[in-house]
Structure 1
Amino acid sequence: MDQASILKIAAEACDDKRAEDIIALNMEGVSLVADYFLICHGNSDKQVQAISREIKDRAEENGINVKRVEGFDEAKWVLIDLGDVIAHVFHKEERHYYNLEKLWGDAPFEDLFGDQK
């Protein structure tokens, strides 16, 4: 499965759990870590965990290898490593604090939902 398909599956999982401000950064040529960063946030620990669990479950259902999940128990910043796509699910306050969008400001935004969002 290609990176764009993995990104779409993960983004739809976020959307289904009502994650807020879902964005993707195209990291090709910017970082060696991954091709895409998917970033979103939830408004409570439970929502952050629900979003993270949904990404992991959808990935596994589609045969995508989930390499690692970090931060799930704390639910402040959960990182889900899907290989070429890394999903960052933040608690709202943590997202504003770390501001990955600004940190990786050289990375262009990827259109996730077309005209739907």
Structure 2
Amino acid sequence: MAAKRKGCLGNIGPSSGRMRGSNISPPVHFFKVILRSTIDDQKLKLPKKFGREFGNDLSAVATITVPNGRTWQLGLQKTEEGRVLFADCWQEFVEYLSIDSGYFLIFGYKGFSKFNVC
């Protein structure tokens, strides 16, 4: 069993929802189907297009707001190929939401490394 990390579950509260820059319209959304490899690797690869468009603007930590309003701080990794991954604390996030293989998650990017998920 993986050791629990402190600081994964945030209590930041809702963010403003404003997008970075005024020219981003409509809001950016993407979906991910959770595969067994996603669970085993304890990382989630974000879409390539998202990494190309926003990778340079992302910080090292993403704030994820789940439907019940709780927030999570997930580490972001960037690869040499331009991919972006949710990494640190991803496993705790998966366990908290009881996410399993076959789940369909929809992410909304709100700018400033802030996401919603449902």
TM-score scaled to structure 2, two decimals?
Answer: 0.34
Look at both structures and tell me which one has the larger radius of gyration over its CA atoms. Answer: 2
Q: Which one has more relative contact order, counting CA pairs under 8 Å at least 6 apart?
A: 2
In the superposition, the TM-score normalised over structure 1's length comes to 0.34
More strand by share: 2
